[in-house]
Amino acid sequence: MRLDRYVSQAAGVSRAAVRALLRRGAVSVDGRVVKAADLQVPAGSRVELEGQPLALPGPRYFMLHKPAGVVCSTSDGEHATVLSLLAEPRRELLHPVGRLDIDTTGLVLLTDDGAWSHGITSPRRHRDKVYRATLAEPLAADAAARLAAGLLLKGEEKPTLPAQLDILSPTEARITLHEGRYHQVKRMFAALGNRVIALHREAIGAVVLDPSLAPGQYRALRADEVAALR
């Protein structure tokens, strides 16, 4: 990691402030004053700011109940982002784990742990994702069987992996996917001749959206939840 990024994260100050500190010789690495912002800090090095040792904060993990109208992005010129809902220091270092459409609500995970994030989103992991869908038309009688058999979506060459459908009412269902293709839930129901009018993600793997969280609220993940997705 670059020295300026290390100090910024460890001290909770901006990169501009770090550059000023470096210029006046306030930062040392293993007892040697360093002014080069691009120095790569070796693992195990002792970094000090004005004689006080610095340590990087541990990785952070959150679940958010995403409301409609918010985008799963770190920045957006037109819409509120999931990061804008967090009252956390250095929130700009966090990122959403995967994405939900702007009109889709429900569980979003956020972290600054890139390896953990990749382990969840990697297509090879086939991580379960559970959604509740409200549909424009009553479900066809063969909907569950067709989803379990896999569907060939428009513009794709391979059928979807088998998906589980639990019918909650004629126009509402819970669907469990084991992959994450572009707009997959909406496209699967479109392939069945139906249309999704509301979509809500309830779970990723063993982590279920906390029912106490109102739309826009979030909380830190428990250690067992982090471990369940590692």
- Residue 229 maps to a domain: no
Active centre residues (catalytic):
101
69 and 49 belong to one structural domain: no
- Read off the pLDDT of residues 9-63 as tens digits, 9 standing for 90 and up: 888 888 899 999 999 999 999 999 999 999 999 888 999 999 999 988 889 999 9
Q: What is the predicted pLDDT for the residue at 186?
A: 96
Determine the 3-state secondary structure of 161 from DSSP: coil
> How many structural domains are present in the chain?
2
Q: Which two tokens stand for residue 206?
A: 């063993």
Token couple for 133: 């869908």
- Residues 28, 139, single domain; the answer is no
Question: What CA–CA distance (Å, rounded) separates 89 from 107?
Answer: 22
On whether residue 230 sits in a domain, the answer given is no
CB 34 within 8 A of CB 45: no
pTM of the model: 0.80
Supply the range of the domain harboring residue 70: 61-223
| Domain co-membership, 26 together with 119 | no
Residue 154 to residue 131: CA distance in whole angstroms: 21
Residues of the chain with pLDDT under 70: none
Does 10 share its domain with 91? no
Same structural domain, 68 and 39: no
| Residue 75 shares a structural domain with residue 27 | no
Q: If you ran DSSP here, which 8-state letter would residue 56 be given?
A: P
CATH number, position 20: 3.10.290.10
